[in-house]
Copies of this chain bind each other. A is one copy, B any other.
Amino acid sequence: MTDRSQLLSALADVVGGRYVLTSNEDVAPYATDWKRSSTGVPACVVRPASTSEVAGVVRHCRELGFTIVPQGGNSGLAAGAIPDSSAGQVVLSLNRMRAIRSLDPVGMTIEVEAGAILQTVRENASEVGRMLPIAIAAEGSATIGGVIATNAGGLNVLRYGMTRDLTLGLEVVLADGSVASGLRHLRKDNAGYDWKQWFIGSEGTLGIVTAAVMRLVTVPRHSVTTLLSVTNLDAAISLFELTQQDIGEALSAFELISAQSIDLIERYAQLKSPIAAGEWFILLEATSSLSGLRDAAEAVLAAGFEIGWVVDGVVAESDMQARQIWALREHVTEAEARRGSSLKHDISVPLTRMGAFLADAEAALETVAPGAGLNLFGHLGDGNLHYNVLLEPDHDQQAINRVVHDVVVKHGGSISAEHGLGQYRVDEWLRVAPDADLRLASTLKTALDPDGLLNPGKILPSKLSHSKAIGETI
Protein backbone atom coordinates (compact mmCIF):
# COMPACT_ATOMS: atom_id res chain seq x y z
CA MET A 1 0.00 0.00 0.00
CA THR A 2 1.39 3.45 -0.85
CA ASP A 3 1.62 6.10 1.82
CA ARG A 4 -1.30 7.91 0.25
CA SER A 5 -3.59 4.90 0.13
CA GLN A 6 -2.67 4.14 3.73
CA LEU A 7 -3.58 7.72 4.59
CA LEU A 8 -6.90 7.62 2.78
CA SER A 9 -7.82 4.41 4.51
CA ALA A 10 -6.80 5.69 7.95
CA LEU A 11 -8.70 8.95 7.47
CA ALA A 12 -11.77 7.06 6.23
CA ASP A 13 -11.69 5.10 9.46
CA VAL A 14 -11.77 8.36 11.40
CA VAL A 15 -14.37 10.40 9.49
CA GLY A 16 -16.13 7.90 7.23
CA GLY A 17 -15.21 7.25 3.61
CA ARG A 18 -17.60 9.78 2.08
CA TYR A 19 -15.87 12.60 3.93
CA VAL A 20 -12.46 11.89 2.45
CA LEU A 21 -12.51 13.63 -0.93
CA THR A 22 -10.10 12.59 -3.66
CA SER A 23 -11.67 13.12 -7.09
CA ASN A 24 -10.58 16.21 -8.98
CA GLU A 25 -14.15 17.40 -9.07
CA ASP A 26 -14.72 17.01 -5.33
CA VAL A 27 -11.36 18.47 -4.40
CA ALA A 28 -11.41 21.47 -6.73
CA PRO A 29 -13.45 23.88 -4.54
CA TYR A 30 -10.97 23.33 -1.69
CA ALA A 31 -7.83 23.56 -3.80
CA THR A 32 -8.35 27.00 -5.34
CA ASP A 33 -8.93 30.26 -3.55
CA TRP A 34 -12.03 32.29 -4.37
CA LYS A 35 -10.04 34.88 -6.30
CA ARG A 36 -8.80 31.94 -8.46
CA SER A 37 -5.27 33.22 -8.16
CA SER A 38 -3.82 30.24 -6.31
CA THR A 39 -4.39 26.52 -6.88
CA GLY A 40 -2.78 23.56 -5.16
CA VAL A 41 -2.85 19.80 -5.39
CA PRO A 42 -3.73 18.23 -2.03
CA ALA A 43 -3.27 14.58 -1.08
CA CYS A 44 -6.97 14.69 -0.26
CA VAL A 45 -9.59 16.79 1.47
CA VAL A 46 -10.88 15.51 4.80
CA ARG A 47 -14.03 16.77 6.50
CA PRO A 48 -14.19 15.75 10.17
CA ALA A 49 -17.43 16.23 12.09
CA SER A 50 -16.09 16.66 15.62
CA THR A 51 -13.10 17.81 17.62
CA SER A 52 -12.06 14.25 18.31
CA GLU A 53 -12.20 13.47 14.59
CA VAL A 54 -9.97 16.50 13.94
CA ALA A 55 -7.53 15.15 16.54
CA GLY A 56 -7.65 11.73 14.86
CA VAL A 57 -6.90 13.24 11.47
CA VAL A 58 -3.94 15.15 12.92
CA ARG A 59 -2.49 12.00 14.48
CA HIS A 60 -2.76 9.96 11.27
CA CYS A 61 -1.30 12.71 9.10
CA ARG A 62 1.61 13.07 11.52
CA GLU A 63 2.22 9.34 11.58
CA LEU A 64 2.16 8.98 7.81
CA GLY A 65 4.17 12.08 7.01
CA PHE A 66 1.50 14.30 5.49
CA THR A 67 1.16 17.94 6.48
CA ILE A 68 -2.15 19.69 7.09
CA VAL A 69 -3.76 22.81 5.65
CA PRO A 70 -6.73 23.83 7.83
CA GLN A 71 -9.53 25.50 5.88
CA GLY A 72 -12.68 27.36 6.87
CA GLY A 73 -14.87 29.10 4.29
CA ASN A 74 -12.00 29.51 1.82
CA SER A 75 -12.71 33.22 1.52
CA GLY A 76 -9.25 34.43 2.54
CA LEU A 77 -7.36 37.07 0.57
CA ALA A 78 -3.85 35.72 1.02
CA ALA A 79 -4.29 32.05 0.03
CA GLY A 80 -3.51 30.98 3.58
CA ALA A 81 -5.86 27.99 3.34
CA ILE A 82 -4.72 26.69 -0.05
CA PRO A 83 -2.36 23.69 -0.24
CA ASP A 84 0.84 23.61 -2.24
CA SER A 85 1.21 21.47 -5.37
CA SER A 86 3.15 18.61 -3.81
CA ALA A 87 0.17 16.29 -3.24
CA GLY A 88 1.70 15.89 0.23
CA GLN A 89 -0.71 18.19 2.06
CA VAL A 90 -4.12 17.28 3.42
CA VAL A 91 -6.77 19.99 3.36
CA LEU A 92 -8.63 19.71 6.67
CA SER A 93 -11.95 21.45 6.13
CA LEU A 94 -13.95 22.44 9.20
CA ASN A 95 -17.12 22.93 7.16
CA ARG A 96 -19.07 20.11 8.79
CA MET A 97 -18.53 21.54 12.29
CA ARG A 98 -21.18 24.24 12.26
CA ALA A 99 -23.05 23.86 15.54
CA ILE A 100 -24.11 26.87 17.57
CA ARG A 101 -23.43 25.30 20.95
CA SER A 102 -24.87 27.96 23.21
CA LEU A 103 -26.09 31.55 23.16
CA ASP A 104 -26.28 33.66 26.31
CA PRO A 105 -27.99 37.03 25.70
CA VAL A 106 -27.45 38.21 29.31
CA GLY A 107 -23.78 37.24 29.61
CA MET A 108 -23.58 38.23 25.91
CA THR A 109 -21.57 35.29 24.63
CA ILE A 110 -22.02 32.73 21.89
CA GLU A 111 -20.19 29.41 21.69
CA VAL A 112 -19.88 27.95 18.20
CA GLU A 113 -17.94 25.36 16.28
CA ALA A 114 -15.21 26.58 13.98
CA GLY A 115 -17.06 25.83 10.75
CA ALA A 116 -20.10 27.94 11.63
CA ILE A 117 -20.63 30.59 8.96
CA LEU A 118 -20.13 34.13 10.22
CA GLN A 119 -23.47 35.27 8.81
CA THR A 120 -25.30 32.41 10.56
CA VAL A 121 -23.67 33.27 13.85
CA ARG A 122 -24.59 36.92 13.38
CA GLU A 123 -28.18 35.97 12.58
CA ASN A 124 -28.42 33.77 15.66
CA ALA A 125 -27.20 36.62 17.84
CA SER A 126 -29.52 39.03 16.11
CA GLU A 127 -32.55 36.89 16.95
CA VAL A 128 -31.98 37.60 20.65
CA GLY A 129 -31.19 41.27 20.15
CA ARG A 130 -27.42 40.88 20.23
CA MET A 131 -24.70 41.45 17.64
CA LEU A 132 -21.36 39.89 16.76
CA PRO A 133 -19.72 43.02 15.35
CA ILE A 134 -17.44 41.44 12.75
CA ALA A 135 -18.51 43.00 9.46
CA ILE A 136 -16.68 41.68 6.40
CA ALA A 137 -17.81 41.29 2.80
CA ALA A 138 -17.34 37.51 2.90
CA GLU A 139 -19.66 36.94 5.85
CA GLY A 140 -21.79 34.53 3.83
CA SER A 141 -18.91 32.09 3.39
CA ALA A 142 -16.31 32.99 6.03
CA THR A 143 -16.29 30.77 9.10
CA ILE A 144 -15.68 31.65 12.74
CA GLY A 145 -12.56 29.49 12.70
CA GLY A 146 -11.32 31.38 9.66
CA VAL A 147 -11.94 34.86 11.05
CA ILE A 148 -10.12 33.83 14.25
CA ALA A 149 -7.22 32.24 12.38
CA THR A 150 -6.76 35.44 10.39
CA ASN A 151 -7.78 37.90 13.14
CA ALA A 152 -10.19 39.41 10.63
CA GLY A 153 -10.77 43.17 10.62
CA GLY A 154 -13.55 44.72 8.58
CA LEU A 155 -15.84 47.68 8.80
CA ASN A 156 -16.44 47.93 12.56
CA VAL A 157 -12.90 47.73 13.91
CA LEU A 158 -12.88 51.39 14.85
CA ARG A 159 -15.58 50.76 17.40
CA TYR A 160 -15.43 47.09 18.33
CA GLY A 161 -11.84 46.09 17.58
CA MET A 162 -10.47 43.19 15.58
CA THR A 163 -11.64 39.58 15.92
CA ARG A 164 -9.02 39.18 18.66
CA ASP A 165 -10.86 41.67 20.84
CA LEU A 166 -14.10 39.71 20.47
CA THR A 167 -12.72 36.23 21.18
CA LEU A 168 -13.24 35.03 24.75
CA GLY A 169 -12.41 31.36 24.50
CA LEU A 170 -10.92 28.80 22.13
CA GLU A 171 -10.72 25.07 21.66
CA VAL A 172 -7.67 24.10 19.62
CA VAL A 173 -6.30 20.80 18.32
CA LEU A 174 -2.53 20.96 18.68
CA ALA A 175 0.12 19.54 16.38
CA ASP A 176 0.57 16.46 18.61
CA GLY A 177 -3.11 15.60 18.24
CA SER A 178 -4.04 16.69 21.75
CA VAL A 179 -6.93 19.05 22.42
CA ALA A 180 -6.48 22.31 24.33
CA SER A 181 -9.86 23.31 25.67
CA GLY A 182 -10.32 26.88 26.82
CA LEU A 183 -13.94 27.61 26.00
CA ARG A 184 -14.38 30.19 28.71
CA HIS A 185 -17.26 32.63 28.79
CA LEU A 186 -15.37 35.22 30.82
CA ARG A 187 -14.64 38.88 30.22
CA LYS A 188 -11.70 38.78 32.57
CA ASP A 189 -9.26 35.97 33.16
CA ASN A 190 -5.68 36.60 34.25
CA ALA A 191 -4.91 33.09 35.51
CA GLY A 192 -1.73 32.02 33.74
CA TYR A 193 -0.73 32.83 30.19
CA ASP A 194 -3.63 33.72 27.91
CA TRP A 195 -2.74 31.07 25.34
CA LYS A 196 -5.71 31.71 23.08
CA GLN A 197 -3.91 34.89 22.00
CA TRP A 198 -1.12 32.80 20.44
CA PHE A 199 -3.54 31.08 18.06
CA ILE A 200 -5.63 34.09 17.04
CA GLY A 201 -4.18 35.38 13.77
CA SER A 202 -1.74 32.46 13.45
CA GLU A 203 -3.37 31.28 10.19
CA GLY A 204 -3.53 27.62 11.15
CA THR A 205 0.21 27.30 11.60
CA LEU A 206 0.20 26.65 15.36
CA GLY A 207 -3.00 24.70 15.95
CA ILE A 208 -6.44 24.04 14.48
CA VAL A 209 -9.25 26.08 16.01
CA THR A 210 -12.25 23.76 16.44
CA ALA A 211 -14.59 25.92 18.54
CA ALA A 212 -14.78 29.39 20.05
CA VAL A 213 -16.63 31.61 22.47
CA MET A 214 -17.27 35.06 21.03
CA ARG A 215 -18.29 38.24 22.82
CA LEU A 216 -21.57 39.82 21.74
CA VAL A 217 -22.72 43.43 22.05
CA THR A 218 -26.12 45.08 22.21
CA VAL A 219 -27.69 46.41 19.02
CA PRO A 220 -27.64 50.21 18.98
CA ARG A 221 -31.05 51.88 18.50
CA HIS A 222 -30.03 54.82 16.38
CA SER A 223 -27.76 55.12 13.40
CA VAL A 224 -26.63 57.73 10.93
CA THR A 225 -24.91 57.08 7.61
CA THR A 226 -23.36 59.83 5.49
CA LEU A 227 -21.33 60.08 2.34
CA LEU A 228 -19.02 63.06 2.02
CA SER A 229 -16.44 64.32 -0.38
CA VAL A 230 -13.49 66.26 1.01
CA THR A 231 -10.88 68.53 -0.52
CA ASN A 232 -7.83 66.46 0.41
CA LEU A 233 -6.40 63.95 2.85
CA ASP A 234 -5.59 66.55 5.51
CA ALA A 235 -9.25 67.57 5.46
CA ALA A 236 -10.26 63.93 5.87
CA ILE A 237 -7.98 63.51 8.87
CA SER A 238 -9.13 66.77 10.45
CA LEU A 239 -12.73 65.68 9.99
CA PHE A 240 -11.92 62.33 11.57
CA GLU A 241 -10.42 64.09 14.56
CA LEU A 242 -13.48 66.30 14.96
CA THR A 243 -15.76 63.29 14.65
CA GLN A 244 -13.84 61.40 17.30
CA GLN A 245 -14.23 64.35 19.60
CA ASP A 246 -17.91 65.06 18.98
CA ILE A 247 -19.33 61.60 18.25
CA GLY A 248 -16.71 59.62 20.13
CA GLU A 249 -17.66 56.09 21.05
CA ALA A 250 -20.63 56.12 18.64
CA LEU A 251 -18.42 56.29 15.54
CA SER A 252 -18.42 52.84 13.94
CA ALA A 253 -17.03 53.41 10.45
CA PHE A 254 -14.87 56.10 8.87
CA GLU A 255 -14.15 54.71 5.42
CA LEU A 256 -11.93 56.44 2.92
CA ILE A 257 -12.50 56.04 -0.84
CA SER A 258 -10.41 57.84 -3.44
CA ALA A 259 -12.01 59.80 -6.27
CA GLN A 260 -10.34 57.35 -8.67
CA SER A 261 -12.08 54.49 -6.92
CA ILE A 262 -15.45 56.20 -7.31
CA ASP A 263 -14.59 56.65 -11.03
CA LEU A 264 -13.89 52.91 -11.27
CA ILE A 265 -17.20 52.12 -9.58
CA GLU A 266 -19.12 54.42 -11.89
CA ARG A 267 -17.45 52.94 -14.98
CA TYR A 268 -17.38 49.25 -14.08
CA ALA A 269 -20.13 48.72 -11.49
CA GLN A 270 -22.86 50.91 -12.97
CA LEU A 271 -23.35 52.82 -9.74
CA LYS A 272 -23.41 56.58 -9.40
CA SER A 273 -22.12 58.73 -6.58
CA PRO A 274 -24.94 60.97 -5.30
CA ILE A 275 -22.56 63.83 -4.50
CA ALA A 276 -19.98 66.01 -6.22
CA ALA A 277 -16.42 64.70 -6.10
CA GLY A 278 -13.55 65.88 -3.94
CA GLU A 279 -10.09 64.35 -3.87
CA TRP A 280 -11.42 61.77 -1.42
CA PHE A 281 -14.81 60.46 -0.36
CA ILE A 282 -15.68 59.46 3.20
CA LEU A 283 -18.34 57.06 4.35
CA LEU A 284 -19.09 57.88 7.96
CA GLU A 285 -21.41 55.74 10.04
CA ALA A 286 -22.25 56.13 13.70
CA THR A 287 -24.61 54.07 15.83
CA SER A 288 -25.74 54.61 19.38
CA SER A 289 -28.20 53.61 22.05
CA LEU A 290 -28.56 57.28 22.87
CA SER A 291 -30.64 59.84 21.04
CA GLY A 292 -28.77 62.95 20.00
CA LEU A 293 -26.68 61.03 17.51
CA ARG A 294 -28.09 62.57 14.35
CA ASP A 295 -27.82 66.10 15.74
CA ALA A 296 -24.19 65.50 16.65
CA ALA A 297 -23.42 64.05 13.21
CA GLU A 298 -25.09 66.94 11.41
CA ALA A 299 -23.19 69.43 13.56
CA VAL A 300 -19.91 67.78 12.59
CA LEU A 301 -20.81 67.95 8.90
CA ALA A 302 -21.90 71.58 9.18
CA ALA A 303 -18.59 72.45 10.82
CA GLY A 304 -16.75 70.53 8.09
CA PHE A 305 -18.55 72.54 5.38
CA GLU A 306 -17.93 75.82 7.12
CA ILE A 307 -14.21 75.24 7.60
CA GLY A 308 -13.95 74.13 3.98
CA TRP A 309 -12.96 70.50 4.52
CA VAL A 310 -16.15 69.13 3.01
CA VAL A 311 -16.99 69.63 -0.68
CA ASP A 312 -20.36 67.89 -0.78
CA GLY A 313 -22.30 65.46 1.37
CA VAL A 314 -25.49 63.53 1.87
CA VAL A 315 -27.03 62.07 5.03
CA ALA A 316 -29.10 58.93 4.46
CA GLU A 317 -32.77 59.58 5.19
CA SER A 318 -33.74 55.91 5.20
CA ASP A 319 -32.28 52.43 5.52
CA MET A 320 -32.50 52.15 1.75
CA GLN A 321 -30.43 55.28 1.25
CA ALA A 322 -27.91 53.99 3.78
CA ARG A 323 -27.66 50.73 1.83
CA GLN A 324 -27.14 52.68 -1.41
CA ILE A 325 -24.27 54.56 0.17
CA TRP A 326 -22.73 51.33 1.42
CA ALA A 327 -23.18 49.77 -2.03
CA LEU A 328 -20.62 52.22 -3.40
CA ARG A 329 -18.07 51.13 -0.83
CA GLU A 330 -18.88 47.47 -1.29
CA HIS A 331 -18.41 47.57 -5.08
CA VAL A 332 -14.90 48.99 -4.99
CA THR A 333 -13.24 45.57 -5.17
CA GLU A 334 -15.61 44.24 -7.81
CA ALA A 335 -15.13 47.30 -10.03
CA GLU A 336 -11.37 46.85 -9.71
CA ALA A 337 -11.65 43.21 -10.78
CA ARG A 338 -13.86 44.04 -13.75
CA ARG A 339 -11.35 46.58 -15.03
CA GLY A 340 -8.59 43.98 -15.17
CA SER A 341 -5.85 42.58 -13.01
CA SER A 342 -4.46 44.43 -10.04
CA LEU A 343 -1.90 44.09 -7.32
CA LYS A 344 -3.32 44.48 -3.83
CA HIS A 345 -1.56 45.81 -0.77
CA ASP A 346 -3.21 45.69 2.62
CA ILE A 347 -1.19 48.20 4.56
CA SER A 348 -1.47 50.28 7.69
CA VAL A 349 0.49 53.30 8.86
CA PRO A 350 -0.02 55.67 11.78
CA LEU A 351 -2.78 58.10 10.84
CA THR A 352 -0.40 61.05 11.04
CA ARG A 353 1.93 59.40 8.49
CA MET A 354 -0.79 58.62 5.95
CA GLY A 355 -0.19 61.75 3.84
CA ALA A 356 3.58 61.27 3.73
CA PHE A 357 3.08 57.59 2.96
CA LEU A 358 0.85 58.40 -0.02
CA ALA A 359 3.25 60.96 -1.42
CA ASP A 360 6.29 58.71 -1.00
CA ALA A 361 4.50 55.66 -2.37
CA GLU A 362 3.39 57.55 -5.46
CA ALA A 363 6.93 58.78 -6.09
CA ALA A 364 8.37 55.30 -5.56
CA LEU A 365 5.78 53.71 -7.81
CA GLU A 366 6.68 56.20 -10.52
CA THR A 367 10.16 54.66 -10.64
CA VAL A 368 8.92 51.12 -11.37
CA ALA A 369 5.47 51.58 -12.92
CA PRO A 370 5.20 55.11 -14.31
CA GLY A 371 1.62 56.33 -14.63
CA ALA A 372 0.11 53.26 -12.99
CA GLY A 373 -3.53 53.67 -11.97
CA LEU A 374 -4.45 53.22 -8.33
CA ASN A 375 -7.50 52.01 -6.47
CA LEU A 376 -7.14 53.39 -2.96
CA PHE A 377 -9.69 52.79 -0.26
CA GLY A 378 -9.77 51.56 3.28
CA HIS A 379 -10.49 52.21 6.89
CA LEU A 380 -9.01 55.63 7.63
CA GLY A 381 -9.97 55.43 11.29
CA ASP A 382 -7.71 52.39 11.64
CA GLY A 383 -4.89 53.78 9.48
CA ASN A 384 -5.59 50.86 7.13
CA LEU A 385 -5.43 51.43 3.39
CA HIS A 386 -5.96 48.99 0.56
CA TYR A 387 -3.31 50.31 -1.78
CA ASN A 388 -4.18 48.51 -4.99
CA VAL A 389 -2.20 49.09 -8.16
CA LEU A 390 -4.06 48.63 -11.45
CA LEU A 391 -1.74 46.39 -13.44
CA GLU A 392 -0.67 46.84 -17.04
CA PRO A 393 0.95 43.96 -18.97
CA ASP A 394 4.47 45.37 -18.70
CA HIS A 395 4.40 45.82 -14.92
CA ASP A 396 6.91 44.03 -12.71
CA GLN A 397 4.77 42.90 -9.79
CA GLN A 398 7.62 42.05 -7.49
CA ALA A 399 9.21 45.44 -8.05
CA ILE A 400 5.88 47.14 -7.28
CA ASN A 401 5.42 45.11 -4.10
CA ARG A 402 8.88 46.01 -2.98
CA VAL A 403 8.68 49.73 -3.44
CA VAL A 404 5.26 49.98 -1.82
CA HIS A 405 6.27 47.88 1.17
CA ASP A 406 9.54 49.75 1.57
CA VAL A 407 7.60 52.97 1.93
CA VAL A 408 5.24 51.27 4.41
CA VAL A 409 8.19 50.25 6.54
CA LYS A 410 9.75 53.69 6.28
CA HIS A 411 6.60 55.14 7.86
CA GLY A 412 6.37 52.60 10.67
CA GLY A 413 3.57 50.64 9.07
CA SER A 414 2.52 47.05 8.52
CA ILE A 415 2.49 45.21 5.18
CA SER A 416 -0.48 43.16 6.36
CA ALA A 417 -3.05 45.14 8.29
CA GLU A 418 -6.04 42.83 8.24
CA HIS A 419 -5.73 40.12 5.57
CA GLY A 420 -2.83 38.14 7.01
CA LEU A 421 0.35 36.93 5.33
CA GLY A 422 -1.03 33.64 3.98
CA GLN A 423 1.33 32.53 1.23
CA TYR A 424 1.25 35.73 -0.80
CA ARG A 425 3.16 37.91 1.60
CA VAL A 426 5.59 35.46 3.19
CA ASP A 427 8.58 36.52 1.10
CA GLU A 428 7.90 40.19 1.56
CA TRP A 429 7.49 39.75 5.30
CA LEU A 430 10.78 37.87 5.52
CA ARG A 431 12.36 40.69 3.58
CA VAL A 432 11.11 43.59 5.70
CA ALA A 433 10.30 42.19 9.17
CA PRO A 434 12.56 43.10 12.08
CA ASP A 435 14.84 40.26 13.13
CA ALA A 436 13.09 39.99 16.49
CA ASP A 437 9.73 39.32 14.80
CA LEU A 438 11.17 36.47 12.77
CA ARG A 439 13.11 35.04 15.66
CA LEU A 440 10.14 35.10 18.03
CA ALA A 441 7.82 33.66 15.36
CA SER A 442 10.26 30.86 14.71
CA THR A 443 10.58 30.20 18.46
CA LEU A 444 6.83 29.78 18.94
CA LYS A 445 6.39 27.73 15.77
CA THR A 446 9.18 25.41 16.85
CA ALA A 447 7.77 25.10 20.36
CA LEU A 448 4.22 24.26 19.26
CA ASP A 449 4.80 22.49 15.95
CA PRO A 450 8.40 21.27 15.93
CA ASP A 451 7.89 19.03 12.90
CA GLY A 452 6.17 21.65 10.78
CA LEU A 453 2.96 19.65 10.45
CA LEU A 454 0.54 22.57 10.41
CA ASN A 455 0.11 24.76 7.33
CA PRO A 456 3.77 24.78 6.30
CA GLY A 457 4.75 27.66 4.05
CA LYS A 458 2.19 30.04 5.54
CA ILE A 459 3.46 33.00 7.60
CA LEU A 460 6.90 31.34 7.80
CA PRO A 461 8.49 29.41 4.94
CA SER A 462 8.01 25.65 5.11
CA LYS A 463 10.28 23.65 7.35
CA LEU A 464 13.35 23.10 5.20
CA SER A 465 13.63 26.41 3.48
CA HIS A 466 12.52 27.93 6.77
CA SER A 467 15.59 27.08 8.81
CA LYS A 468 17.66 28.42 5.99
CA ALA A 469 15.70 31.63 5.59
CA ILE A 470 15.76 32.39 9.30
CA GLY A 471 19.44 31.59 9.42
CA GLU A 472 20.14 33.93 6.55
CA THR A 473 17.98 36.73 7.81
CA ILE A 474 19.13 36.88 11.39
Interface residues of A (CB under 8 A from B): 104, 106-109, 129, 150-151, 153, 157, 159, 161-162, 164-165, 178-182, 184-195, 197-198, 200-202, 206, 217-218, 220-221, 237, 241, 244-250, 288-293, 295-296, 348-352, 379, 381-384, 412-421, 425, 429, 433-434, 436-441, 443-444, 446-448, 459
A447 contacts B436, C-beta separation under 8 Å: no
A248 contact from B290, B384, B413, Cβ within 8 A = B290
A198 contacts B197, C-beta separation under 8 Å: yes
Shortest distance between the CB of A289 and any CB in chain B (Å): 3
Given A193-B459, A197-B197, A249-B250, 18 new contacts (CB under 8 A): A104-B350, A106-B237, A150-B190, A178-B439, A180-B439, A181-B436, A184-B414, A188-B348, A191-B414, A192-B429, A192-B437, A193-B201, A245-B289, A248-B288, A249-B249, A249-B288, A444-B444, A447-B447
Chain B neighbourhood of A382, CB < 8 A:
187-188
B350 contacts A186, C-beta separation under 8 Å: yes
- Complex Cα distance, B241 from A197, in Å, reads 28
Q: How many copies does the complex hold?
A: 2
B416 contacts A195, C-beta separation under 8 Å: no
Chain B neighbourhood of A381, CB < 8 A:
187
- Complex Cα distance, B162 from A381, in Å, reads 21
Chain B neighbourhood of A185, CB < 8 A:
350, 412
Shortest distance between the CB of A451 and any CB in chain B (Å): 15
Shortest distance between the CB of A208 and any CB in chain B (Å): 14
A-B contact pairs, 5 of them (CB 8 A): A184-B412, A187-B384, A188-B418, A191-B414, A192-B441
Contact A194 to B201, CB < 8 A, known contacts A249-B289, A289-B247 = yes
- Complex Cα distance, B221 from A184, in Å, reads 35
Shortest distance between the CB of A245 and any CB in chain B (Å): 5
A444 contacts B193, C-beta separation under 8 Å: yes
B192 contacts A421, C-beta separation under 8 Å: yes
Contact A109 to B350, CB < 8 A, known contacts A197-B197, A436-B181 = yes
Chain B neighbourhood of A192, CB < 8 A:
416, 421, 429, 433, 437-438, 441, 459
Name which of A151, A188, A418 has the most chain B CB atoms within 10 A of its CB: A188
A107 contacts B162, C-beta separation under 8 Å: no
- In the complex, residue of chain B having the shortest beta-carbon distance to the beta carbon of A378: B188
Contact A417 to B189, CB < 8 A, known contacts A246-B289, A289-B249 = yes
- In the complex, residue of chain B having the shortest beta-carbon distance to the beta carbon of A172: B436
Contact A421 to B202, CB < 8 A, known contacts A184-B414, A288-B249, A436-B178 = no
- In the complex, residue of chain B having the shortest beta-carbon distance to the beta carbon of A286: B290
- Complex Cα distance, B227 from A247, in Å, reads 27
Contact A437 to B195, CB < 8 A, known contacts A106-B237, A189-B416, A448-B443 = yes
A190 contact from B217, B420, B437, Cβ within 8 A = B420
- Complex Cα distance, B384 from A446, in Å, reads 36
Chain B neighbourhood of A245, CB < 8 A:
129, 218, 289
Chain B neighbourhood of A193, CB < 8 A:
198, 201-202, 206, 437, 440-441, 444, 459
Chain B neighbourhood of A217, CB < 8 A:
248-249
Chain B neighbourhood of A129, CB < 8 A:
245
A190 contacts B197, C-beta separation under 8 Å: no
A186 contacts B414, C-beta separation under 8 Å: yes
A290 contact from B198, B293, B443, Cβ within 8 A = B293
A157 contacts B414, C-beta separation under 8 Å: no
Shortest distance between the CB of A282 and any CB in chain B (Å): 16
Shortest distance between the CB of A372 and any CB in chain B (Å): 24
- Complex Cα distance, B335 from A173, in Å, reads 47
Shortest distance between the CB of A466 and any CB in chain B (Å): 13
A190 contacts B195, C-beta separation under 8 Å: no
Chain B neighbourhood of A189, CB < 8 A:
348, 414, 416-417
Contact A195 to B351, CB < 8 A, known contacts A106-B237, A188-B418, A290-B293 = no
Contact A352 to B106, CB < 8 A, known contacts A188-B157, A191-B433 = yes
A352 contacts B188, C-beta separation under 8 Å: no
A289 contact from B164, B250, B352, B444, Cβ within 8 A = B250
Chain B neighbourhood of A425, CB < 8 A:
191
A182 contact from B109, B191, B436, Cβ within 8 A = B436
- Complex Cα distance, B194 from A348, in Å, reads 15
Shortest distance between the CB of A15 and any CB in chain B (Å): 23
- Complex Cα distance, B296 from A194, in Å, reads 37
Shortest distance between the CB of A306 and any CB in chain B (Å): 20
